[in-house]
Amino acid sequence: MTAWVFDYPSMNESTLESLLAEARACQLCAGHLPHGCRPVLQAGGRAKLLIVGQAPGRAVHASGTPWLDASGRTLRTWLGMHEDEFYDPERVAIIPMGLCYPGAGKSGDLPPRIECAPRWHSTLLAALPEIKLTLLIGAYSQREYLPAGSTRLTENVRAFRAHLPRYFPLPHPSPRNRPWLAANPWFEREALPELRRRIAALW
């Protein structure tokens, strides 16, 4: 798929709050979500880091707090961030490809609903003018945000330097990805130190 998120005019803070309220009340995919709609996201007008993951999992759907699960603990370790920093919307915006939990499939969660990102991403990003670095976690976000042809996750992550300073592709920090991490030791050796350095420089 072709990347479709680039540059947008800034909007004021009241516009962002209105957009967040509208997004959190979204029922666009109600007929397709076995556990109902519960959009989970966070954003503040001064956020400099944007995290674009796949979609909330079951635990996040239950809590309503993004990345409040085992994957989130690993992600915060990768980033070198404490919870109070991570959950500060004026630092970190979190807008997944699918805002709601899509339900479970045969080998993990179902893909994010395809209706969600085209409806919300460009509109919300227009109200986040200070984003300096976007983390693209997993294949779904990388397919949409990176140039056409960037379809293989391992290749995207290995080529992280080519996507800087705007994007930093990452694997999903799920416990299910431990085999990938074991097979790609360069990730912790090369990518994570650079990731932490870039994040520390944002503030």
Within a domain: 163: no
Q: Where are the beta strands (DSSP E) in 64-142?
A: 92-94, 104-105, 108-109, 133-137
Which structure tokens are listed for 188?
Answer: 């912790």
Per-residue pLDDT at 196 = 98
pLDDT in tens, 92-133: 999 999 999 999 988 789 999 999 999 999 999 999 999 999
Amino acid code (one letter) for 47: A
Within a domain: 164: no
pLDDT in tens, 154-194: 999 999 999 999 999 999 999 999 999 999 999 999 999 99
Within a domain: 108: yes
Within a domain: 69: yes
Within a domain: 167: no
Q: How far apart are CA 35 and CA 200, in angstroms?
A: 37
Q: How far apart are CA 79 and CA 194, in angstroms?
A: 10
Residue 2 has pLDDT above 80, yes or no: no
Within a domain: 144: no
CATH code of the domain covering residue 46: 3.40.470.10
Helix 13-24, helix 116-125: angle, nearest 10: 160
Within a domain: 96: yes
What domain range is 27 assigned to? 13-133+173-200
* Buried b / exposed e along 71-87 (16+ C-beta atoms within 10 A): bbebbbebbebeeeebb
Per-residue pLDDT at 17 = 95
Per-residue pLDDT at 12 = 65
Q: How far apart are CA 99 and CA 23, in angstroms?
A: 8
Report residue 11's pLDDT band, with 50, 70 and 90 as the boundaries.
Answer: low
Per-residue pLDDT at 4 = 46
Within a domain: 149: no
Give the number of domains in the chain. 1
Which is higher by pLDDT, 1 or 68? 68
pLDDT in tens, 19-72: 999 999 999 999 999 999 999 999 999 999 999 999 999 999 999 999 999 999
